[in-house]
Amino acid sequence: MSNTVVVGTQWGDEGKGKVVDLLTAKADMVVRFQGGNNAGHTLVVGGKQFILHIIPSGILYEGKKCLIGNGVVVDPEVLLQEIQDLKMVGKEVTPERLSLSDKAHIIMPYHKAIDLAREAAKGRHKIGTTGRGIGPCYEDKVARTGVRAVDLTEPETLEEKIGTNLKEKNFFLTKFLDAEPLELKPILDRYLGMAERLVPFITDVSLELDQGIKANKNILFEGAQGTHLDVDHGTYPFVTSSNPVAGGACAGAGIGPNQLHHVVGIVKAYTTRVGAGPFVTELVDETGDYIQERGQEFGATTGRRRRCGWLDLVVVQDSVRLNGLDSLAITKLDVLTGLERLKICVGYEFDGERVTTRPASQRKLARCTPVYMEIPGWQEDISQARRLDQLPPQTLAYLETIEEITGVSVSIISVGAGREDTILVQDPF
């Protein structure tokens, strides 16, 4: 038995979906432990594209158990839609295939309304959230007023909770955010209707995982977003509201730290960011456009154009420490093909001083400038490479530089969107 965690080392969108999909082949159970439908994992299987926002991508394989842990916030409408969409392509999602933690928090219409109205009120100071109600749902979780999946099994509790919450939410929406109030009855009816379809999936995920561990199953923990969007360790306040770091897998799934055996950090070969916040290696020139176009850097959830920049190893090195990374998966390496010279950020400068870790202060970070090392690029098409020795020497040098500076070896290299466009250097399981 071996359990692996996959985490993003940058600001999300590193291509975790594809790596998770690959590793799922060896896993028996696949678990989401944080975030919600702010994530969007794009997978290309047999030339067909799937975007999953909440159900672990392991669902596309036969016989793998997928679990949504207590650390996830769930929009029942989105979950049911995904179940329906999968059915349309012949993937029947039954409770044998999917479990939803009874302790997972449920995204309510007032969470989405507050998310959107608050961002609108902030104007140019907005965070650039996905508008899915993620932050407000986690706020209620911590405030101990949240609706949990288990409440969907108890209509009376559900009515009581929504009723109590609406008093406060409507006051906030109308008096502070200048938004419309919401009514109890339509929300309750809608959620009770959805509850009927969701109840069969609701169970104790921690217990189920424990049974899996005792039965020597391989478990894959699928992180969403990325380390620098972590509410504790990221570029606060331009972060999401959960803990995408590997440690989040324990609290967000209900397992002990001794059950995590290998942590894979996904490193996109360059850096991207959606939403606001400082971005030291951002490219606002034609190289940035080149990467953006070749990498098709549009958000899988919101369709927003992603900001692009050179690979920032200050960010990745922080992620090595924060997650205890055992190996790296380098993704979208093929996107860099055709660039004459490549830059890798190996440090920052702030007021003439060298900085080797990302400062906590956003003001300070905004004033950091990148210290680059430059290496030659490659012109050859690398998308057909399936072994390291099929890569040009410049590509190998790029990878070796990453390994040397981070001190972590590369286990997987992705050279294209398809499952097969991969070089497996070392199997993390």
Q: Which of 21, 41, 140, 312 is catalytic?
A: 41
298 CB neighbour count, 10 Å cutoff? 13
Two tokens at 46? 């047999």
**Nearest CA to 223 among 10, 387, 365, 407?**
10
Spatial separation of the C-alpha atoms in residues 92 and 372, rounded to whole Å:
49
Binding piece for ligand IMP, criterion CB under 6 A, among 8-16, 24-32, 159-167, 286-294: 8-16
The verdict on 319 binding ligand IMP (CB under 6 A) reads no
Residue 16 or 262 with smaller CB distance to ligand IMP: 16
| Mask for 27-46, x = binds ligand IMP (CB under 6 A) | -----------xx-------
Among 3, 34, 42, 130, binds ligand IMP (CB under 6 A): 130
Stretch that binds ligand IMP, among 85-93, 117-125, 129-137, 149-157 (CB under 6 A): 129-137
Asked whether position 13 contacts ligand IMP by CB under 6 A, the answer is yes
Taking CB under 6 A as the binding criterion, the range among 60-68, 234-242, 348-356, 364-372 that sits at the site for ligand IMP is 234-242
Concerning whether 115 is annotated as a catalytic residue, the answer is: no
Task: Report the residue number, 5 or 423, with the smaller CB distance to ligand IMP.
Answer: 5
At 101, the amino acid letter reads S
User: Minimal CB distance to ligand IMP: which residue?
Assistant: 275
267 is a contact residue toward ligand IMP (CB under 6 A): no
Please identify, using beta-carbon distances, which residue of 14 and 102 lies nearer to ligand IMP. Answer: 14
Residues 6+ apart with CB under 8 A from 81: none
Say how many residues make up the chain.
Answer: 429
Nearer to ligand IMP by Cβ, of 176 and 298: the residue is: 298
Kindly tell me which residue out of 240, 271, 319, 331 binds ligand IMP, with binding defined by CB under 6 A: 240
> H-helix or E-strand containing 268?
strand 262-268
Stretch (H or E) spanning 314: helix 313-323
Does residue 135 belong to the site contacting ligand IMP (CB under 6 A)?
yes
Residue carrying structure tokens 């530089």? 401
Reported in sequence order, the residue ranges of 47-163 that DSSP labels E, i.e. its strands, are: 48-52, 65-68, 73-74, 98-101, 105-106
Q: Which of 230, 153, 208, 228 lies closest to 31 in space, CA to CA?
A: 208
Which candidate, 48, 106, 8, 38, places its Cα nearest to that of 318?
A: 8
| β partners of residue 101 | 203
DSSP H or E segment with residue 271: strand 271-273
CB atoms within 10 A of CB 61: 16
Residue with smaller CB distance to ligand IMP, 172 or 279: 279
Cβ–Cβ < 8 Å for 33, 63: no
Closer by beta carbon to ligand IMP, 165 or else 241? 241
Stretch that binds ligand IMP, among 123-131, 209-217, 368-376, 391-399 (CB under 6 A): 123-131
Residue 306 DSSP code: P
Give the alpha-carbon dihedral of 61, 66, 71, 77, to 10 degrees.
80
User: Which residue in the set 195, 245, 274, 417 belongs to the binding site for ligand IMP (CB under 6 A)?
Assistant: 274
**Could you give the CA distance from residue 346 to residue 19 in angstroms, rounded to a whole number?**
25
Q: How many residues bind ligand IMP (CB under 6 A)?
A: 20
Is 13 a known active-site residue?
yes
Residue 63 or residue 123: which is nearer to ligand IMP going by CB?
123
Is residue 275 close enough to count as binding ligand IMP by CB under 6 A? Answer: yes
Question: Binding marks (x or -) toward ligand IMP, 333..362, rule CB under 6 A?
Answer: ------------------------------
Residue of the chain from 6, 7, 12, 326 that contacts ligand IMP (CB under 6 A): 12
Which residues of the shown chain bind ligand IMP in the complex (CB under 6 A)? Answer: 11-13, 38-39, 127-130, 132, 134-135, 224-225, 229, 238, 240-241, 274-275
